[in-house]
Amino acid sequence: MPINATKQPLLNLPRSVKRGLVIFVDLLICGLSVWLAFGLRLDQWGYFQGQQWIVCLAAIGFSFPLFIFFGLYRAIFRYIGTAAFITITRAFVVYTGLFFSVFTLYGIEGVPRSIGVIQPMLLFFGIGASRYFVRYWLGGINNIQKAFRRAQQIALIYGAGSAGRQLVSSLISNHEMLVKGFIDDDPHLQGSTINGILVYPNTDIKDLIRRLDITDVLLAIPSVSQERRNEIIASLNGCEVRVRSLPGLIDLASGRVRVSDLHDLDMNDLLGREVVPPEISLLEKNILGRVVLVTGAGGSIGSELCRQIIKFSPKSLILIDSSEHSLYVIYEELKRTLISLEDERFASDSDDDTFPSLNAELSIELAPCLASVRDRDSLLKIFKNHKPATVFHAAAYKHVPLVEQNPAEGIRNNVYGTLTCAQVSLECGVSNFILVSTDKAVRPTNVMGASKRIAELVLQAMSDLASKDKRATNFSMVRFGNVLGSSGSVAPLFSAQIAAGGPITLTHPEVTRYFMTIPEAAQLVVQASAMAEGGDVFVLDMGEPVRIYDLATKMVYLSGLLVKDEARPHGDIEIKITGLRPGEKLYEELLIGDNPQSTVHPKIMKAHEEFLSWGDLQKELEKLNLALESSDARLIREMLKKLVPGYQPN
């Protein structure tokens, strides 16, 4: 007979019937506790006689109204936890007070006064024991079934501090994961036990994982430095465990944490480097109290620029995008952000000196504008209507293979869209115009990179022209590499491929790229704009280049899986090499020349790049436009070679 053959019918009963059964059992326990109390006190067992019936009726009369009032019959017993037993205790504190007052303090003839103490103790034990029994008898069905339906998740928690202790308490109460130990760097904690769980040293993690059959390592180290965090993650690489991080401390404190709340490692963990804190004064300089306009506001970089900008209280934020859906999504998100910031400001009674602009009045106007950066008339109308002081130009076609196959459209958008925006900005008296550029503009091998370098040349030439004409617009550009998490980035693609069981597709095993996270890139763009003097080409320090193959294997290992290759034919995820795409480079560069100049920010450098005068560039742009109209791909590439000396199409 199956283990749950007699129990499952009970679980299938209507809730009202099950509640009736519980009340009936509690009646029996109540009567039994009175009978036992008299038997223990009088040292004899027998039927209720005389006043003993009054005690039995009083016990029922006192207990059941209290049980109903305190909600003892609302709980599902097989899921009952600590909170329910606290409720039972509260009910019995009141019950004991009543029963003790009547039968001990006041006294009833024929009833020993000690009954007022003995009976509540016996009833409390009986009610509590019945709940525990039902929890483990019926709840065990679900636990056994779950255990066989999925492989048991066995976890180590890295960090035995307060965060780790709250996490293990939540996981134990939820029965979702078996925690076999803590790991902690503190020698004073090593060897001790917390909730009956041993704290292990951090000396031989791989052996411990193998010995305890660990499937998951949960990082509960919110206060540790990024450097130490990277060391810990590196030590877990290749251990065939899934590495996940701590959820929010608010959820921990409320005891609501479940396994689904634990999240995979973020992009900073994958990059394995420290993020330099932003300079608040630089973030505020071109934003606080100003009208700010962002083109390509619905894109990966544009939308993150908007998220960063709105934190520093611009007078208004103008969003331009040609995609209706993308514009709608970021507009709705920013409206919700404004409401949250307003709530936070009113909830705080003290000034926040870390982000002074957050204490400013949050009457920020949001203006979503559907328009193409190539449409001069639409742009002119928007600029004259809103009068922006700062423009971040993030609108661009950036996907290398698509632009390679559609070179004319890529150039029209990236080159002439930038030219149109810059000319309108100059005409309307914009104070600062910042182009979001790319490392692919350096000695490009693809049309996208070449088009972005020409966009840089446009701004350099227009900056030179503006300075000669003594016009106010300050043109600058910020060049950086790949952004983890952006549309088309390898990290989300690899995550989706791992979730689907593979294979991971990689163009070449030796491809390397510079990476940073979207928020970090956006903050650095804003800070660089504050240091611009005119015609500046800013280069962001992206750290060491990352080999894409290594990034892919790291993501596989930290998902608790193995790479499938010749050495491990029974692995989980295969990495399939597909070959370099048209225009793709093995290595990216950030500088055309040498000796970049440092700035006041440790992550931002200033490059010295040659450029054409506006008169010479204008003639070449006219020739390029004629080539675009002819749709002659060969002629277009020849014009790109002439304009961008380092351009070498492959």
pLDDT one-digit tens code per residue, 174-205 = 666 788 888 888 888 888 888 778 889 888 88
For 154-265, CATH number? 3.40.50.720
The number of beta carbons lying within 10 Å of the beta carbon of residue 325 is 8
The C-alpha atoms of residue 242 and residue 495 are separated, in whole angstroms, by 13
> Under a CB-based contact definition with an 8 Å cutoff, are residues 170 and 256 in contact?
yes
Q: Is the pLDDT of residue 336 over 50?
A: yes
Q: Which two tokens stand for residue 44?
A: 């004899």
pLDDT confidence of residue 184: 87
Report angle CA 451, 454, 455 to the nearest 5 degrees: 85
Q: Is 164 exposed, middle or buried (0-12, 13-18, 19+ CB in 10 A)?
A: buried
Name the band, by pLDDT with cuts 50, 70 and 90, for residue 80: low
Q: From 637, 616, 642, select the one nearest 627 (Cα to Cα).
A: 637
- Report in angstroms the alpha-carbon separations of 506 from 290, 296, 484, 502: 44, 28, 16, 12
Tens digits of per-residue pLDDT, 554-609? 777 766 677 887 777 777 788 888 887 776 667 666 554 556 777 888 878 887 77
Q: Is the pLDDT of residue 312 over 80?
A: yes
pLDDT confidence of residue 47: 76
Q: How would you classify residue 296: left for phi > 0, otherwise alpha for psi between -120 and 50, otherwise beta?
A: left
pLDDT confidence of residue 142: 46
For 280-347+355-615, CATH number? 3.40.50.720
Model-level pTM? 0.61
Task: Tell me the average pLDDT across 482-503.
Answer: 74
- Looking only at the bridges linking them, the beta strands covering 512-513 and 546-547 are antiparallel
- The torsion angles phi and psi of 472, rounded to 5 degrees, stand at -80, -20
Intervals of CATH 3.40.50.720 along the chain: 154-265, 280-347+355-615
Q: Is the pLDDT of residue 214 over 80?
A: yes
pLDDT confidence of residue 382: 96
Task: Please give the span between the terminal C-alpha atoms of the chain, in angstroms, as a whole number.
Answer: 71
**Who has greater pLDDT, 358 or 580?**
580
Which of 137-151, 420-434, 474-488, 582-596 is predicted least confidently?
137-151
pLDDT confidence of residue 522: 86
- Report in angstroms the alpha-carbon separations of 144 from 136, 140, 153, 157: 11, 6, 14, 24
Residues involved in catalysis: 440
The C-alpha atoms of residue 609 and residue 594 are separated, in whole angstroms, by 9
Amino acid type, 187: P
Listed in order, strand segments (DSSP E) in 274-358 are 291-295, 316-321
